Amino acid sequence: MITGLLVRGIEAGRVPDFCEVRATKGHWRRLNGVREVAALTARPNASSKPTTEQLAEWARPTERMRDEMELAHTLTWLSLLVTGAENAMFHFRARFGRSLVTRSVLGPMSTERLGYPLSEHDLLVRAARSGRPVLGPPFGPVEDALAMRFANSQGGSGAVAMIPFFIDKELTAMLELSRPGHAFRRSDLQRAEYLVKKTLLQRLG
């Protein structure tokens, strides 16, 4: 069973809830018995955020991941759980080149950006390259540009955030988050930043 493909199939509505799955030579389990599926279907909120121990357990498989799409997908849904975001996108530097390519889109929104590079003229890319995270409200031109990324999401974007990630002084990834409710807590964003950066350093550092 390739977990990343399973999760993407669930998001696309191609896997019925009544299905059971199993790893090679493993026992059959209901879908919610797979930790990635359970985390994906959980509705993150202040009362259901995972503990540090749960995060460590869920993040452990990323150490062995070789597929960039699966890695990006896992880091994105972990960030949803940590921050309480409803929508998220993860942009990852192309293997050969400087451009950031959208590798994961999660939440009730269009996936039309998936697989496409971001323009170097993009306001968020410019902010990221200068090492500047973005957090709104309040909203200015850059925060508005980030909110527009999530304009087609269900419920809109009352709060947005972008976190850039550097490896060896090179912009390697961007995490973008939104939700219709109140502003993100900086402590939650810092947890997501730590989790993603630690994993990227293990893979690329």
- Delimit the CATH 3.30.450.40 region(s) of the chain: 50-204
Which residues touch 105 (CB under 8 Å, ≥6 apart)?
76, 88, 89, 111, 113, 114
Residues 26 and 166: beta-carbon distance below 8 Å: no
The reported pTM is: 0.74
Whether the ω angle into residue 117 lies within 30 degrees of 0, i.e. cis, is: no
The string of pLDDT tens digits covering residues 52-103 is 665 555 555 454 445 678 888 889 988 998 999 999 999 999 777 789 999 9
Which of 35, 114, 108 has its CA nearest to residue 78?
35
CATH topology for the 50-204 domain: Beta-Lactamase (3.30.450)
